[in-house]
């Protein structure tokens, strides 16, 4: 699967709710975004659905992603949760359905929940399926269970301070698109001297440089913002071309600074 299957960039909606989220979605769609990323755990699927219902953008032109939370991985619960998500989102299908986190301590066997995920896809409720926060070993297990071309993406944390090279390279070698979340490291990229210097060279912002670097690695990104000018800047960042020297300088910013690391996370690569 190529990154063209997943529109880049997407609009991340973590921590956005209510009227703020609806406004952001309307502004993003007006600017040209067509990929909206949500999740059961974000508790905003209903707001996403309401905003999309108000939009004049046809459903078939949108790419909508949601994710099953780890407490709904038992097969019957997973399928029920997807029906609930679709009802909240006001749609018959999502374009991409992800397992948000692998089952903590394998409480639900991977074969059980991935088989249920595929059955949801076969029932027409998800165009594509994928995983999120899977280690390389877990991804390999998943592909053994479902087959080498079953999964579209592994969505993982990727930003200049956590470049996740081993996972990105492994996924890409296995034919998966990597979706990188928290691409701006919750705003920390804005203060980095190297990113600021590169940004000045291009008449851009450090955030745009971080997003351009992500694109240069073949990673789809889903930044979040509540400001229209930042949304527009996130789109424009995909046209920014960085030199080899600039990419090398950003590669040197790696410091294993993981932001999303809950107590139920797997043993990271």
Residues with catalytic function: 42
Query: What distance in Å separates the CA atoms of residue 110 and residue 235, rounded to the nearest whole number?
Result: 36
Query: What distance in Å separates the CA atoms of residue 109 and residue 83, rounded to the nearest whole number?
Result: 22
Q: How many CB atoms lie within 10 A of CB 6?
A: 25
Going by C-alpha positions, the residue among 105, 155, 43 that lies closest to residue 266 is 105
Mode of pairing for the β-strands spanning 94-99 and 151-157: unpaired
Query: What distance in Å separates the CA atoms of residue 27 and residue 98, rounded to the nearest whole number?
Result: 25
Are 181 and 156 in contact, with CB atoms under 8 Å apart?
Answer: yes
Q: How far is CA 219 from CA 2, 4, 103, 159, in A?
A: 10, 11, 25, 10
Are 159 and 184 in contact, with CB atoms under 8 Å apart?
Answer: yes
149: three-class secondary structure by DSSP = coil
Query: Which residue is associated with the tokens 């913002």?
Result: 225
Query: What distance in Å separates the CA atoms of residue 75 and residue 198, rounded to the nearest whole number?
Result: 48
Element of type H or E holding 37: strand 35-37
Burial of 239 (0-12, 13-18, 19+ CB in 10 A): exposed
Query: What distance in Å separates the CA atoms of residue 202 and residue 61, rounded to the nearest whole number?
Result: 32
Structural tokens at position 267: 């043993």
């Amino acid at each position: 699967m190529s990154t063209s299957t997943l529109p880049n960039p997407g609009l991340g909606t973590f921590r956005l709710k209510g009227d703020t989220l609806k406004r952001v979605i309307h502004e993003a769609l007006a600017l040209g975004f067509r990929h909206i990323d949500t999740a059961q755990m974000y508790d905003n699927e209903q707001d996403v659905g309401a905003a999309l219902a108000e939009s004049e953008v046809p459903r078939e032109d949108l790419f909508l992603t949601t994710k099953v939370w780890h407490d709904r991985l038992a097969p019957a619960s997973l399928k029920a949760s997807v029906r609930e998500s679709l009802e909240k989102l006001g749609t018959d299908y999502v374009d991409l359905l992800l397992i948000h986190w692998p089952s903590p301590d394998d409480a639900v066997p991977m074969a059980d929940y991935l088989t249920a995920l595929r059955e949801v896809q076969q029932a027409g409720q998800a165009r594509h399926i994928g995983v999120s926060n899977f280690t390389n070993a877990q991804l390999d297990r998943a592909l053994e269970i479902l087959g080498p071309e079953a999964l579209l993406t592994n969505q993982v944390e990727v930003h200049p301070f956590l470049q996740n090279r081993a996972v990105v390279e492994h996924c890409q070698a296995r034919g998966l698109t990597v979706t990188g979340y928290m691409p701006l490291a919750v705003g920390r990229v804005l203060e980095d001297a190297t990113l600021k210097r590169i940004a000045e060279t291009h008449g851009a912002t450090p955030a745009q440089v971080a997003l351009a670097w992500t694109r240069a690695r073949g990673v789809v990104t889903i930044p979040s913002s509540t400001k229209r000018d930042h949304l527009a800047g996130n789109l424009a960042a995909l046209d920014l071309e960085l030199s080899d020297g600039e990419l090398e300088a950003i590669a040197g910013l790696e410091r294993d600074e993981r932001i999303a690391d809950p107590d139920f996370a797997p043993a990271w690569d």
